[in-house]
């Protein structure tokens, strides 16, 4: 623009120097206007019309003819008319003029508002110098005072026009920007025009305004270009600009003109809200209590958060700023990560479908009484979680009723599990509770590949606490990393430990059920185990004999040919010695999974069993036949004896007498 002006000036100068008879040179004007006492009439007022030649010569317009701006005097002869029009900037600065006329100042001027500023109000007239010159009226260091001349407290504009902000100049001068500019002399610090733009100033309600909700981020990032990297959680790339209705705008947290540190004072002070909402009997139209207990709020995790930061649709421009509130609080304004997780979770999906059972943030965290999770009084405190989730997931409650999976009596079983006992009976707050496995905000069914309890993720989930186990397991034969070609479904934590009924592994119940658990896949091996002493005692219901994991290990199971395996040639004797003190290498030769039904693998056992069975069969065949043949004869014999006895007892007596006689 400057060059254009220069070119135009040069052309003008050239033109007029060639045709001196036609033009009016500046010297012509200055002949009169260099008189310091020269006065003229403008709009009926007598004003001094002296033009300081020195000032003009040092201004940016020094080479511009007077009549270029005072165009209405062009071609007129001296003495020219009274009531000369204001100097026109348009012929040269038409682009700026357009911006100005679209702005609130230009519109006011168009309406004839006497308070409306025009170009000269800010830029001056014959004394206009470069902005970069600190003496310029619009130099950054002067801007706050320039704007403040109208917008300071008590100025006519501030009093007579609708300006939503108050104490603008004072607040600004105390703000981070103001202190930087005015106290530290940083001329790059934001001034009024940095945010409001110099010429097209619009109220923040106008979508085109540089300070509208939509544009504010763009405005601030002109200087704070790297702000996204430090505001990552909130802004996340371009999300800020794309979804401004979800994300907060800069000024939600950093109130305009008061930008200091992020102490979030708000446009609408809590006290203002509590004027009404502090009344216990305040009710909404549909009868809900609208009472907010200031003490509860004061003790909550949000004690330093202003009402309007959550209820962010309040509008301070309204008499009742809360008039604009017609939707629930969106916590993801600040808790963006949690909000995203929730929206992906089953809870969030149900909520999106308007399911009446879907829990919202408030359901778990409360509203004005929200407490930090580490506070024992919080419903989301570790030990309170089972009860909290139980509100819906306990047997008979809505979530349990609509649930179609295999897990039942979840809360009851959990309470009896090792985790439940640890948490609720031993008070170990580090014990896993619902949210440790299912996550707090990202609950998904186990079928979902993104779920924390999906088969592929469960080891990591459990490993978050049981890290040592996870490491062992990752090296074991059951790990997916062990054999990449394996197509079989491998067991994960809950296949052996269950989900909600996890018990101590040294408890009798677990020890006794493990054979069936392992047997689900290792069917044959489990069967042969039950043929041995170990298996038989287990069948009787006693846990004090070797179970699968006593020999094979639990999480570090490896194939026999792996030297690290508990049952490898290197380690087997030691493994036996765990129970059988004094076990030798020969002792370890015992077939722990022997069966006498396999002639190839265990010929000795097979033939021993065959031999014994043969002996048994032959003995019983022989004895059985003997007995069966005897039976009818024996019956007959009994009959004969009876007959003999009944017919004559005398005979016996006689016989005896006879015998006695013989003997005597």
Task: Choose which of 589, 600, 646, 647 interacts with other proteins (CB under 8 A).
Answer: 589
Task: Choose which of 15, 78, 467, 591 interacts with other proteins (CB under 8 A).
Answer: 591
Q: Does 560 bind other proteins (CB under 8 A)?
A: no
Residues 379 and 440: beta-carbon distance below 8 Å: no
Q: How far is the CB of 630 from other proteins (least distance, A)?
A: 6
Residues 111 and 159: beta-carbon distance below 8 Å: no
Nearer to other proteins, 275 or 619 (CB): 619
Q: How far is the CB of 403 from other proteins (least distance, A)?
A: 35
Q: How far is the CB of 483 from other proteins (least distance, A)?
A: 30
User: In sequence order, which residues have a C-beta less than 8 Å from that of residue 127 and are 6 or more positions away?
Assistant: 52, 55, 56, 59, 137
Q: Does 509 bind other proteins (CB under 8 A)?
A: no
Distance CA 92, CA 60 (A): 13
Burial (CB count within 10 angstroms: exposed 0-12, middle 13-18, buried 19+), residue 523: exposed
Report 530-549 residues binding other proteins (CB under 8 A).
530, 532-533, 535-537, 539-542, 544
Q: Does 615 bind other proteins (CB under 8 A)?
A: yes
Task: Choose which of 15, 78, 467, 590 interacts with other proteins (CB under 8 A).
Answer: 590
Burial (CB count within 10 angstroms: exposed 0-12, middle 13-18, buried 19+), residue 475: middle
Ordered DSSP codes for 530-566: TTSHHHHHHHTT---S--HHHHH-SS----TTSTTST
Nearer to other proteins, 120 or 577 (CB): 577
Q: Does 587 bind other proteins (CB under 8 A)?
A: yes
Q: Does 167 bind other proteins (CB under 8 A)?
A: no
Phi/psi at 46 (5° precision):
-90, 120
Q: Does 193 bind other proteins (CB under 8 A)?
A: no
Between vectors from CA 381 to CA 376 and to CA 382, what angle results, nearest 5°? 115
Nearer to other proteins, 86 or 642 (CB): 642
Closest by Cα among 302, 299, 199, 216 to 259? 216
Q: How far is the CB of 650 from other proteins (least distance, A)?
A: 11
Hunting for tokens 């290990």 — which residue is that? 553
Q: How far is the CB of 479 from other proteins (least distance, A)?
A: 31
Number of residues counted as binding other proteins (CB under 8 A): 58
Nearer to other proteins, 104 or 605 (CB): 605
Residues paired with 39 in a beta bridge: 48
Q: Does 81 bind other proteins (CB under 8 A)?
A: no
* Selected range binding other proteins among 353-361, 514-522, 553-561, 623-631, rule: CB under 8 A: 623-631
Distance CA 445, CA 214 (A): 38
Task: Choose which of 456, 634, 643, 648 interacts with other proteins (CB under 8 A).
Answer: 634
Closest by Cα among 225, 178, 220, 173 to 196? 220
Length of the chain: 664
* Selected range binding other proteins among 71-79, 231-239, 517-525, 610-618, rule: CB under 8 A: 610-618
Counting DSSP H helices and E strands in the chain, the numbers are: 38, 2
Task: Choose which of 7, 464, 604, 621 interacts with other proteins (CB under 8 A).
Answer: 604
The residues binding other proteins (CB under 8 A) are: 527, 530, 532-533, 535-537, 539-542, 544, 580-584, 586-591, 594, 596, 602, 604-605, 608-609, 612-613, 615-616, 619-620, 623-624, 626-627, 629-635, 637-638, 641, 652-653, 656-657, 659-660, 663-664
């Amino acid at each position: 623009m400057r060059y254009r002006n220069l070119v135009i000036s040069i052309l003008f100068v050239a033109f007029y120097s060639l045709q001196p008879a036609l033009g009016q040179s500046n010297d012509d004007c200055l002949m009169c206007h260099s008189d310091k006492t020269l006065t003229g009439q403008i709009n009926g007022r007598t004003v001094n019309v002296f033009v300081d030649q020195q000032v003009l010569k040092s201004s940016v317009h020094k080479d511009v003819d007077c009549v270029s701006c005072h165009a209405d005097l062009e071609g007129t002869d001296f003495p020219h008319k009274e009531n000369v029009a204001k100097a026109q900037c348009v012929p040269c600065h038409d682009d700026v003029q357009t911006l100005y006329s679209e702005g609130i100042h230009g519109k006011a001027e168009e309406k004839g508002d006497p308070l409306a500023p025009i170009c000269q109000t800010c830029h001056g007239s014959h004394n206009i110098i470069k902005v970069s010159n600190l003496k310029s009226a619009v130099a950054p260091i002067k801007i706050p005072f320039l704007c403040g001349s109208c917008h300071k407290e008590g100025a006519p504009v501030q009093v007579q026009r609708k300006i939503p902000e108050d104490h603008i100049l004072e607040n600004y001068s105390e703000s981070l920007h103001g202190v930087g500019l005015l106290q530290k002399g940083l001329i790059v610090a934001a001034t009024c025009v940095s945010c409001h733009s110099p010429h097209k100033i619009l109220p923040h309600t106008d979508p085109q305004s540089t300070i509208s909700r939509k544009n504010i981020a763009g405005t601030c990032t002109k200087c704070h270009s790297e702000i996204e990297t430090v505001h990552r959680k909130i802004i996340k790339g371009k999300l800020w600009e794309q979804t401004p209705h979800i994300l907060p705008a800069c000024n939600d947290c950093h109130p305009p003109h008061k930008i200091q540190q992020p102490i979030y004072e708000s446009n609408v002070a809590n006290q203002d809200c509590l004027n009404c909402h502090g009344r216990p009997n305040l009710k909404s139209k549909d009868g809900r209590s609208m009472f907010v207990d200031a003490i509860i709020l004061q003790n909550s995790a949000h004690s330093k958060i202003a009402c309007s930061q959550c209820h962010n649709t309040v509008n301070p421009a309204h008499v009742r700023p809360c008039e604009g509130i017609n939707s629930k609080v969106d916590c993801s304004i600040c808790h963006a990560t949690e909000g995203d997780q929730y929206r992906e979770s089953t809870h969030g999906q149900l909520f999106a479908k308007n399911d009446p059972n879907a829990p919202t943030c408030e359901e778990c965290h409360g509203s004005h009484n929200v407490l930090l999770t580490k506070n024992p009084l919080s419903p989301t405190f570790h030990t309170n979680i089972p009860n909290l989730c139980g509100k819906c997931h306990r047997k008979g409650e809505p979530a349990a009723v609509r649930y179609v999976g295999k897990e039942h009596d979840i809360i009851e079983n959990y309470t009896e599990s090792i985790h439940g006992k640890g948490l609720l009976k031993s008070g170990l707050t580090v014990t896993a509770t619902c949210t440790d496995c299912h996550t707090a905000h990202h609950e998904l069914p186990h079928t979902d590949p993104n779920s924390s309890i999906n088969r592929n993720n469960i080891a990591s989930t459990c490993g978050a606490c049981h890290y040592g186990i996870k490491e062992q397991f990752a090296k074991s034969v059951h790990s997916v990393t062990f054999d990449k070609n394996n197509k079989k479904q491998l067991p994960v934590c809950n296949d052996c430990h269950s989900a909600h009924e996890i018990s101590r592994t040294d408890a009798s119940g677990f020890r006794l059920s493990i054979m069936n658990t392992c047997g689900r896949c290792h069917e044959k091996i489990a069967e042969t185990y039950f043929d041995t002493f170990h298996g038989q005692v287990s069948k009787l219901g006693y846990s004090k004999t070797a179970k699968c994991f006593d020999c094979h290990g639990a999480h570090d199971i490896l194939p026999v040919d792996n030297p690290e395996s508990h049952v490898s040639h290197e380690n087997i004797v030691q493994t036996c010695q765990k129970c059988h003190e004094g076990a030798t290498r020969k002792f370890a030769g015992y077939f722990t999974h022997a069966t006498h039904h396999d002639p190839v693998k265990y010929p000795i056992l097979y033939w021993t069993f065959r031999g014994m069975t043969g002996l048994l069969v032959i003995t019983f065949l022989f004895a059985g036949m003997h007995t069966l043949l005897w039976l009818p004869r024996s019956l007959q014999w009994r009959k004969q004896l009876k007959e003999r006895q009944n017919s004559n007892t005398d005979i016996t007596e006689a016989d005896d007498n006879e015998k006695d006689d013989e003997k005597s």
